[in-house]
Chains A and B, each alone.
Chain A
Amino acid sequence: QVSELVQFLLVKDQKKIPIKRADMLKNIIREYRNAYSEIVKRADRTLQEVFGLQLVEIDTKRHMYILINKLPHAEGQHLCRGKEKEKMGLLLVILSFIFMKGNSVKDSALWEFLHLLRVYPGKQHSVFGDVRKLVTEEFVRQKYLETTPIPLTDPPEFKYQWGPRAEKETSKKDVLNFVAKMQGKDPTFWASQYSEAQAN
């Protein structure tokens, strides 16, 4: 049972779509409902021990889970999971922007920022393809970004924040260090972000 659940989770996680507890119950555990929490605990332990992944609940109301990578981030082309290196690069830049701007940005501000990097919502990008789709759909679906409509705006505007997967897989400290490195400054240069990152 544990091995079936582990395989189920690995397969679901490949697509980075959050896993619902209902699906876990339906697909795998069937007769063993009573032992559900024990089975999940053991599956998590196996995932950590063998794969370096951890099962984390990101929505306690709707009982949704994701697998996060527990291994410390590594440099190097070879070591990135999948061909996602470029997408993750873009994501990191977006997460940094959001953090530096106080953890929430309007969509118009985000696109203005991306313009500076020559990434345009209307144009096909040579590496990222349909960037608008990547940012507003894929990153949101994968729970890296969270988008909420801003009330009383017409045409409707949205704000972007870190999603639960970003919260679990990265830290504000890492992001601040990244920004500092990019700009050749010390992280303490940004006093309020620095203290926020330390507290995180």
Chain B
Amino acid sequence: MAAQMTNAHRRFLQVLMSNGITEGSEARKLHQHCCETDKVYYAHDKLDDFIGTINSHLQPLFMQIRKGISEDDGRAHYAVVNLAETEVTKMASDYTEIELELFRKTMDLIILSENGFASSTDILNLADQLKTKKMKKKEAEQVLKVFVEDKWLSEKNGEYTLHTRCIIEMEQYILSNYQDVARKCNICHSLAIQSQVCESCGIGMHLPCVRKYFRGQTEPRCPKCNEFWSCDTP
């Protein structure tokens, strides 16, 4: 039973779309502002219902407001995603063929890596081998900067991983195209790019999920094989 869309819903959706990705507390504030501006009934704990109404109208358009958890701090973020399994339409229109190729190859590196990061050196070496056209290192550095600004990649100490926004928007795409390699978190069952892995049985978990799961335990053990959890719990 879908409620009607009001201007408050539409305004919320417009802002979410132009932000690219919106953090949880920002989204709650936005919810309140939209309801106040458009004089719609507001209840502070009804954000999920509010979003649910919008989603029921987005469904026939193969779009959805999706919630994702940041792999860094465990906080919720919201993004409007395209549910079709092909690459995000939004990205395809913002970048050139060659930039997209660099991004895809970078994504390969990140997903295939142990820790979910690709060093800038490795990525710049890729630039040389692009099929479309060779890209100079300087150009590639610029393109990487743009990817970070646009929130497709995030950078830490010269290494790059996928931004929360990218993970939310491309989760379906990644899970289907990297079926054998992409890891799923054993706790929350979502895609895990950065993860801690059990040395014995190989299952992976998000760092925030590890933190929550092992809270207060002096002897952390793997939930699957019960061996000692060898990684430092964050």
Contact = CB atoms under 8 A, between A and B. Distances in A.
**Chains A and B belong together in one complex:** yes
Interface of A: 3, 6-7, 10-12, 14, 46, 49-53, 69, 71-72, 74-76, 78-82
B34 A51 contact: no
Nearest to A8: B89
A52 B18 CA distance: 14
Contacts of A71: 7, 10-11, 14, 38
Given A11-B90, A50-B10, A79 B34 contact: yes
A104 B185 CA distance: 62
For the side of the interface on B, what is the size category?
A: 20 to 34
Contacts of B17: 10, 51
Contacts, number: 67
Given A52-B10, A71-B14, A46 B61 contact: yes
Q: Lowest 7 CB-CB distances: which A-B pairs, in order?
A: A52-B10, A82-B18, A3-B61, A81-B18, A74-B37, A50-B57, A78-B33
B13 A51 contact: yes
B5 A49 contact: yes
Contacts of B13: 50-52
B26 to A, nearest CB: 8
Greatest chain B CB density within 10 A among A12, A69, A71 is at A71
A52 B34 contact: no
Interface in B53-109: 54, 57-58, 60-63, 82, 89-90, 93
A76 B37 contact: yes
B33 A76 contact: yes
Given A11-B93, A50-B57, A72-B7, 15 more contacts: A3-B62, A10-B17, A50-B58, A51-B10, A51-B14, A52-B7, A52-B13, A71-B14, A72-B38, A74-B33, A74-B37, A78-B15, A79-B34, A81-B18, A82-B19
B29 interface: yes
Contacts of B37: 74-76, 79
A52 B26 CA distance: 21
B203 interface: no
B19 to A, nearest CB: 8
B66 to A, nearest CB: 16
Nearest to B62: A3
A52 B11 contact: yes
Contact of B60 (A3, A10, A81): A3
A51 to B, nearest CB: 6
B30 A78 contact: yes
